[in-house]
Amino acid sequence: MFVPARTLFVTDLDGTLLGADLKISSESAAILNELIGAGVLITAATARARESTRRALAGVDLCLPVAFLNGGYLADLHGEQIQGGFPLPTKTTSLILEGYLECGLHPLVYTIDAFGKEHVFYQGTGNPGMHAYVAERLSGGDRRLRQVADLSVTDTQTVIAINAVDTPERLAPMREQWSRDAGVCCHYSPDIYVSGYCWLEICEFRANKGQAALTLKELVGAERMVCFGDNTNDLAMFAAADESYAVANAHPAVLDAATAVIGDHRSHAVARQLRELARAETR
């Protein structure tokens, strides 16, 4: 039986805890459930929203709040209540959407409606990266996705993030413009599932994994924080952590920023490292 110290463990999902099939392995799920049952503080910070996270972590008994959409909002994985978030201002939302469309990109608008339900609005799938994302979500029964002719339907909803997946060249104008705006946070990272494509994720300036991880740490009363990640949107979380672990398949910048490098995401490396760290705290 573990008797854990007050350390919060925060892990990214895609490319880190999840395997190549976008799901958690049975071995990793069993290890996490053992640790959670023993009182170890474990949660996630992910670019995913809640519904797709539920599917990816099926069988894992996460009981702490999770940071979704790169920290755009916090919520219980299996509950309904949104526990905090940083929506985009209405005027900023309009300008971002206008810019995406003028560049010929295909934005995905992540919203929460007046009843607390999450939605993802999009007009179409114009490239392999976008098609792969939408196809994977729909094949898994994701109820959030709504294909619409006009994205103005989002005007009455709370907009958390506006994202696009495309080639680096096509994303460059929007990335350059909005990276200079202090009112937003631009997350730019390679698509780990479709070669040659990248994600540009634009949200409110406080919506990043570093701020979210610190909020989670305070929420649970932890004294220390240990994080796991693989992509550039994990760098802010690494900077906020006492220790950080990059999986072997991580982006070079993440490998450089980590306290240490562990096995790749297909080898149950995060769960195994979590178990070793939890055991070390009891010695």
Predicted confidence (pLDDT) per residue in 71-102, tens digit: 988 988 887 666 667 889 999 999 999 999 99
Q: What is the pLDDT of residue 3?
A: 44
The pair phi, psi for residue 154, each rounded to 5°, is -80, -5
Query: Hunting for tokens 């760098």 — which residue is that?
Result: 235
Q: How far apart are CA 160 and CA 119, in angstroms?
A: 10
Q: What percent of the chain is predicted at pLDDT more than 70?
A: 96
Q: How far apart are CA 51 and CA 68, in angstroms?
A: 10
* Beta strands across the sheet bearing 73-75: 66-68, 73-75, 82-85
Provide the residue-wise pLDDT of the chain in tens; the chain has 283 residues. 454 558 999 999 999 999 988 899 999 999 999 999 999 999 999 989 888 899 899 999 999 999 998 998 898 888 766 666 788 999 999 999 999 999 999 999 999 888 878 899 999 998 999 999 999 989 988 889 999 999 998 999 999 999 999 999 999 999 999 999 999 999 899 998 899 999 999 999 989 999 999 999 999 999 999 999 999 999 999 999 999 999 999 999 999 999 999 999 999 999 999 999 998 876 6
Q: What is the pLDDT of residue 73?
A: 87
Structural domain boundaries of the chain?
7-84+208-281, 90-204
pLDDT digits (tens, 9 = 90+) for 236-283: 999 999 999 999 999 999 999 999 999 999 999 999 999 999 988 766
Domains 7-84+208-281 and 90-204 share a fold: no
Q: What is the pLDDT of residue 116?
A: 79
What CATH number has the domain spanning 90-204? Answer: 3.30.1240.10
Nearest CA-CA partner of 137 in 196, 62, 56: 56
| Long-range own/partner contacts, residues 255-258 (CB < 8 A, 24 or more apart) | none
Q: What is the pLDDT of residue 24?
A: 96
How many angstroms separate the Cα of 259 from the Cα of each of 40, 80, 235? 21, 35, 12
Q: What is the pLDDT of residue 1?
A: 42
Q: What is the pLDDT of residue 283?
A: 61
CATH number assigned to the domain with residue range 7-84+208-281, chosen from the 4 options 3.30.930.10, 3.40.50.1000, 3.40.630.30, 3.40.50.1820: 3.40.50.1000
Q: What is the pLDDT of residue 82?
A: 65
pTM of the model: 0.82
